Amino acid sequence: MADPIIRTRIAPSPTGEFHIGGLRTLLFNYAWAKKNGGQFVIRIEDTDRTRFVPGATNRMLEVIKDYGFDWDEGPLKEGAYGPYIQSERLNIYREYIDRLVSQKNAYYCFCTSERLEELRNRAQADGKNFKYDRHCFSLSSDEVSSRLEQGEKYTIRMKVPDDEIVSFNDVVLGEVSIPTKEIDDQVLFKSDGYPTYHFAVVVDDSLMKISHVLRGVEWIPSTPKHILLYRFLGIEPPKFGHLPNLKTLGTNKKMSKRDGSVFAIDFLKDGYLPEAIINFLMFLGWNPGTEREFFSLEEFIKEFDINKIHKTDLVSFNRDKLDWYNNQYLIKLSNEEYLSKLIYWSQKFNSPCLISDISNKYSSENVLKIISLIKERINVFSEFDKNVDYFLNHPNLDNLVLGKYSNDPKKVLKFFYETLKNTEDFSFEYLDPLLHSLVKENSFSMKEYFMTLRISLTGETVTPPIVDIIVILGKEVVLTRLDSAISKL
């Protein structure tokens, strides 16, 4: 018998922007399907109408594409098991919920929100977890019919078996067992006519022939509910694997917006390269077992192994490590590629960027030289402006800054002014040995002279080599800035 086809999925809810943790989950599901020659499916779970955000679905699909992913089936790519948006599948769910009710694995509940709130408050006061008291489970079929005919609002709850242990073999964590006494009679159908997540996910994963469900470890308490539903419906469940959640570095708390970006789109807006973020995410809960740190998506798919996923609740989202990854990817770009990606980023996200001003002021050759000088110094494109501002604007100086590295900054700047004023050749090949030799010949301190020169021309204490900057700025600008600095002393 041929091995079953591997089919994985992600099923985001359009309740806001796509979380970076969701992208990591997508990456692992995508890799497992592609490694095994299977299919990757996207399904939109939009049954929570109270939190539904118009336009969120399209934004999620767009950002997934921006990160370089595609899907075999899902919205915009209808397949044999659609539709792939849950709100378009309501007639399907009705058939399955009616079956559960007829089997007495589910029952109608007419309890009001006020009564349920009272039960919750009572449980909280007693220090207990809330569980529905099955007040409506004993209603006769005639009473249920009568109340339905009167148009009374209802939900449909699952009847959880008493005193059982629900076990499953997690492909990441191993054997997991949870007693049914810890499981509430979960609402499966809401009063608005929509299924809850717990019911719809079981029906959809079954009908869409999903073989593996890789999802965050926070879903472990829900998995026994789903396994029970599979049993009630006579369906073989998929294989479950629970992935560690992402936490803020140095804490045991899930990532928070207070610590920086958390949505996938925001990292792109900040100026990270998609391929660098994906490489970084590969190692959040997985390790190849080697010292290797760089993988393309294709290489990761070949290497990916469920058995190498970490068996832990949380893994640290180290933003410094992400910056390092992005910096390494930027460095590897040619200057032309860097310029192209920088312009694309600025235009796509409508991000203010001085590259247009730089391009207008300098020749194409000098634009690429500027990129060559600064690209190792920035981690993300949003840092570009602060690293090139002095190529466009005169520095704002004061005496304290100019005198930081010299007891007589005026003498230092006059020395450079006179030297450069009388220099016709302003090429790097001529100026670099000239200035260094003059400083040595006059027994000047390299740090004193070149740091004072750097501050006067850029207003910064840390820049690329100052002679490179002098060549790009050009003689006229350099002399004007030196003259301005001298006049302040």
Flag whether pLDDT at 250 surpasses 80: no
Mean pLDDT value of segment 448-471? 94
248-254 long-range contacts, Cβ below 8 Å, gap at least 24?
248/316, 248/317, 249/316, 249/317, 249/318, 249/319, 249/320, 250/316, 252/314, 254/314
Q: Which residues pair with 155 in a beta bridge?
A: 109
Nearest Cα to Cα of residue 286 among 25, 480, 20, 472: 25
Of the pLDDT bands very low, low, confident and very high (cuts 50, 70, 90), residue 16 is very high
Query: So what's the pLDDT on residue 248?
Result: 85
Q: Are 228 and 158 in contact (CB under 8 A)?
A: yes
Q: Is 4 exposed, middle or buried (0-12, 13-18, 19+ CB in 10 A)?
A: exposed
Percent of the chain with pLDDT over 70: 99
Query: So what's the pLDDT on residue 3?
Result: 65
Q: Is 288 exposed, middle or buried (0-12, 13-18, 19+ CB in 10 A)?
A: middle
Of the pLDDT bands very low, low, confident and very high (cuts 50, 70, 90), residue 339 is very high
User: pLDDT by residue (tens digit) across 124-174?
Assistant: 999 888 999 999 999 999 999 999 999 999 999 999 999 999 999 999 999
User: pLDDT by residue (tens digit) across 276-291?
Assistant: 999 999 999 999 999 9
Architecture label for domain 394-487: Orthogonal Bundle (1.10)
Mean pLDDT value of segment 469-485? 96
Of the pLDDT bands very low, low, confident and very high (cuts 50, 70, 90), residue 1 is very low
Query: So what's the pLDDT on residue 259?
Result: 72
Mean pLDDT value of segment 292-299? 97
Helices (H), 234-363: 264-270, 274-282, 297-303, 319-332, 335-348, 355-361
**Of 65 and 448, the one with more pLDDT:** 65
Architecture label for domain 89-243: Alpha-Beta Complex (3.90)
**Rg for the chain, CA atoms, rounded:** 32
The two structure tokens encoding residue 255: 């990532």
Of the pLDDT bands very low, low, confident and very high (cuts 50, 70, 90), residue 398 is confident
Query: What are the domain boundaries of the chain?
Result: 89-243, 394-487
Task: Give me the active site residues, please.
Answer: 257
Of the pLDDT bands very low, low, confident and very high (cuts 50, 70, 90), residue 489 is confident
State whether residue 144 is helix, strand or coil.
Answer: helix
State whether residue 189 is helix, strand or coil.
Answer: strand
User: pLDDT by residue (tens digit) across 183-221?
Assistant: 999 999 999 999 999 999 999 999 999 999 999 999 999
Query: So what's the pLDDT on residue 281?
Result: 98
The two structure tokens encoding residue 413: 């700047």
User: pLDDT by residue (tens digit) across 428-441?
Assistant: 999 999 999 988 88
Flag whether pLDDT at 271 surpasses 60: yes
User: pLDDT by residue (tens digit) across 74-130?
Assistant: 999 989 999 999 999 999 999 999 999 999 999 999 999 999 999 999 999 998 889
Query: So what's the pLDDT on residue 2?
Result: 52
